[in-house]
Amino acid sequence: MVDYPHLVGLTYHIKTFGCQMNLHDSERVSGLLDSCGLVEVATPEEADVVVFMTCCVREKADTRLYGQVSSMVSAPVPPSGRRLVAVGGCIAQRDGENIRKHIPNVDVVFGTQAIARLPYLLEQALLDDSHQLEADTAEPYEGFSTDLPSHRAQSFHAWLPIMTGCNNFCTYCIVPYVRGRERSRIFEDVVMECEHLVRDGVREITLLGQNVNSYGRDRYGKPRFAELLRAVGQTGIGRIRFTSSHPKDLSDETIAAMAETPQVMPQLHLAVQSGSTEILRRMNRKYSREDYLELVHKIRAAMPDIALSTDIIVGFPGETEEDFEQTLSLVREVEFASAFTFIYSRREGTPAAKIVDNTPHEVIQERFERLAALVADLAHKANVRELGSTVEVLVEGPSKSDAHVLVGHSPKNQTVHFALPDGMSAQDLTGRYVDVRVDEAKTWYLRGPMVGSAR
């Protein structure tokens, strides 16, 4: 590691927006800054270096960033006498130097492929007492952020990117423009990293990619995701999850590998986006309503008890009431255990941004609320079905509102709450498996007593 003497001893804080890719990248930024001698602090106000890892998938994320970065201008200056503000992630990649036109107090801009350059840019900004700007979009970093040191948010869970970028170009989506084309990591590197993580005490991994099902296609000429699941299952890891899965690429081999690898959790996030074949066509999703339902049928035939979750966009340009009702009926038919629902957000530069749509916002908002109510109802029903059963929970720590209540997730990824047993501390149980008997089923979580001992 090259030394950056001016950074040693400074404090830093990272604010992360967006998806798991950004969460993972933030852990790498944190690891990198630790290795340069900086020290993490809990709030941006007390930090010498504030890093924003940004997201532009929807408009709300954009406006939030601009508000938060601007508010750092008025925050009191830290003891070192100068605060550096760095903007990374997808807005940095998209806007590059233009960010400074809107927020002049930004010192460093670094693109999604330029994480490794951050310490150098911060040091330069300090030395020159000037604003260093580098989006590094032209010279993509050949490695993966995964090659950098990591400071994991949780010792027992790791994000494990298996690929970056996306080739799908859904017509509403900005991601392919800010994360580049699909690039898969070397198969053996992923397996080896998982083995290291297991030795390091990690019990659950989440394999990451915008479309994990096509893992390997660019590097090996054919997808190797099914093979990867089986190989990672042999590493001694307790739990495997993965996201995201594009329905058009979920193969029979992958379904079989999921069913036959006990470490793969009985849970699948399979973004449908809409229940209307016509809207799916305009979204360039490359499957129909019927294809999706058939896929769900195949998945449930292989894994009858699997919990399915999804992403849905309401108000794609030109969506009619009939199209929307098709979405409601698909959601009812599949009985998703949970769903992320979004109102369509126009993203400049995407094909859908050119479609003129006069549907009033109130109509879209009303559809969104109907969908949200249905999703909540189905989530509650899925939780009620667990009543009386005993679920294995990987404990994450105390709940934010009550230190005597611990929180974790079941194999199906349901949030589970249980009371801290007498004579035990949260530390004793964090990162361990416990069994919880489900006595209560709320809409968004399960609750009950811990039974038996921790493993």
Rounded CA-CA distance 269/157 in Å is: 18
Residue 58 near ligand SAM by CB under 6 A: yes
Q: Would you give the binding string for ligand SAM spanning residues 194-213, x where CB under 6 A is met?
A: ----------------xx--
Residue 308 near ligand SAM by CB under 6 A: no
CB 449 within 8 A of CB 439: yes
Q: How far is the CB of 430 from ligand F3S (least distance, A)?
A: 28
**Which part of the chain contacts ligand SF4 (CB under 6 A), choosing from 22-30, 156-164, 171-179, 442-450?**
171-179
What's the token pair of residue 10? 């400074």
Q: 19: annotated binding-site residue?
A: yes
Rounded CA-CA distance 145/202 in Å is: 19
From ligand SF4, ligand SAM, ligand F3S, none, interface partner of 313 (C-beta below 5 to 8 A by class) = ligand SAM
Q: 56: annotated binding-site residue?
A: no
Cα–Cα nearest to 170, from 353, 357, 23, 25: 353
From ligand F3S, ligand SF4, ligand SAM, none, interface partner of 169 (C-beta below 5 to 8 A by class) = ligand SF4
Q: Where are the beta strands (DSSP E) in 306-412?
A: 307-314, 338-343, 390-398, 405-409
Residue 246 near ligand SF4 by CB under 6 A: yes
Q: Would you give the binding string for ligand SAM spanning residues 163-192, x where CB under 6 A is met?
A: ---------xx-x-----------------
Q: How many residues bind ligand SAM (CB under 6 A)?
A: 18
Q: 36: annotated binding-site residue?
A: no
Q: Would you give the binding string for ligand F3S spanning residues 75-114, x where CB under 6 A is met?
A: --------------xx------------------------
Q: How far is the CB of 90 from ligand F3S (least distance, A)?
A: 3
Rounded CA-CA distance 104/70 in Å is: 9
Rounded CA-CA distance 343/361 in Å is: 10
φ, ψ for residue 420 (rounded to 5)?
-65, 120
Rounded CA-CA distance 198/255 in Å is: 25
**H runs (alpha helix) in 129-250:** 175-179, 187-199, 217-220, 225-233
Residue 344 near ligand SAM by CB under 6 A: yes
Q: How far is the CB of 338 from ligand F3S (least distance, A)?
A: 18
CB 215 within 8 A of CB 246: no
What's the token pair of residue 222? 């054919």
Q: 90: annotated binding-site residue?
A: yes
Rounded CA-CA distance 55/95 in Å is: 11
Site for ligand SAM in 228-247 (CB under 6 A): 244, 246
CB 51 within 8 A of CB 13: yes
- Cα 46 to chain centroid distance, Å, stands at 27
User: What's the chain's Rg over C-alpha atoms?
Assistant: 23
Rounded CA-CA distance 238/228 in Å is: 16
Q: How far is the CB of 358 from ligand SAM (least distance, A)?
A: 18
Residue 161 near ligand F3S by CB under 6 A: no
What's the token pair of residue 439? 């006595």
Site for ligand SAM in 262-281 (CB under 6 A): 271, 273
Cα–Cα nearest to 112, from 93, 85, 96, 95: 93
Interacting residue ranges for ligand F3S, rule: CB under 6 A: 18-19, 21-22, 55-57, 89-90, 174-175, 178-179
Interacting residue ranges for ligand SAM, rule: CB under 6 A: 19, 57-58, 172-173, 175, 210-211, 244, 246, 271, 273, 311, 313, 342, 344-345, 347
Interacting residue ranges for ligand SF4, rule: CB under 6 A: 166, 168-170, 173, 175-176, 210-211, 246
Binding residues for [4Fe-4S] cluster: 19, 55, 90, 166, 170, 173
